Amino acid sequence: MYRLLSEPLRLRLLALAGEDELAVSELAELLEESQPNVSRHAATLRQAGLLSDRRQGTWTLLKLEPDAARDAVVSDALATGRTLCERDGSLARVSDVVRARDKGTREFFARTRTSAATSAGTPSEWGAYVFALASLLPRRELAIDAGTGDGAALDALAPAFDRVIAVDRSDAQLEACRERLVARGHKNVTLVRSELDRSLKEHVKDGADLVLAARVLHHAPKPAEAVRALASLVRKGGALVVLDYARHDDEALRTQQADLWLGFEERELEAFFERAGLAWRGAREVPSTYRGAGPDRAVRWIVAVGARE
């Protein structure tokens, strides 16, 4: 050990590796030595159990073994190495070398980029964001997208839940939805052709953690009965979420989108939920910036939530 630690370069290398985990290239810069020479001395220190290494792509990162300094000889060597590094200024430059790691990253993001306003739209990595946030949900075994249409909501539901059942009564809409699933790679979604009525129970035997009805209720012949049918699919601890329009007077939507109802009052939705046996959790208005660019963007949207206690 004394012979190993008699080389000043090794002492300095050991001290710097004890200051921070550093790449061989960074140590070479600090020590003003060639990378092959640093690698050769580092290999000797690794074999002696004083350094550990970690591969990160083409980088080899080195750090002092946590228990190495317990040895009195090594502890003394580290103190000597630090003194040498303080004299040559390399110890003070460690933080600068580490800070320089993200120089390329800073330059990359500082370049002129396409304006976010001109590239607006769902990002291709949207699923990763939803998947990350889904860990906050208490239960996410099963979600039901009631009235899925072309499956737009599935881009949010599929990454968040283990299984999703997408329901629609239109073969044309289900075919469009199927194409979306293939394009997006969602493999945990089952398509079901059905009305939004009690017959859905046969597809959801144990209940769902979430039932979502997004812009569906204003197409239902009997909204209260539709809410009752959807509520029957919610398991204990689960929720029914209705995204629909607030009461409005835009008659054009009856012809443009075949709407039956011109939205709903909050108290009306509350009554639907309570009659269906769900605890009312309130309603919120959707910000206008989230309403897309369709013909219904001018009316107010609301989200109503009821839970099965």
Strands 301-307 and 279-285: antiparallel
- Give the pLDDT score at 117: 47
- Asked if residue 146 is part of any domain, the answer here is yes
| pLDDT score at 85 | 96
H helix runs in the chain, sequence order:
8-19, 24-31, 35-47, 72-88, 94-99, 103-110, 126-133, 154-160, 171-184, 223-231, 252-256, 266-275
The verdict on 292 and 214 lying in the same domain is: yes
Looking at the fold, whether 163 and 301 belong to one and the same domain comes out as yes
Specify the amino acid at residue 28: A
Same domain, 228 and 155: yes
C-alpha triplet 245, 261, 142: angle, nearest 5°: 60
- Give the phi and the psi of residue 174 in degrees, each rounded to 5: -65, -35
Q: Is residue 116 part of a domain?
A: no
pLDDT along the chain (309 residues), means of 10: 91 95 95 96 94 92 92 94 96 93 79 54 83 92 95 95 95 94 95 88 88 95 94 96 96 91 96 97 95 92 97
85 in the same domain as 20: yes
In-domain check, residue 120: no
Residue 64, judged by CB atoms within 10 A of its CB (0-12, 13-18, 19+), counts as buried
- Residues 152 and 285 grouped into a single domain: yes
Domain count, the chain: 2
What CATH number is given to the structural domain containing 81? 1.10.10.10
Q: Which residue range is the domain that position 85 belongs to?
A: 4-110
What pTM did the predictor assign? 0.74
Q: Are residues 293 and 187 in the same domain?
A: yes
What pLDDT score does 112 carry?
57
Half-sphere exposure of 277 (CA within 13 A, CB side): 14
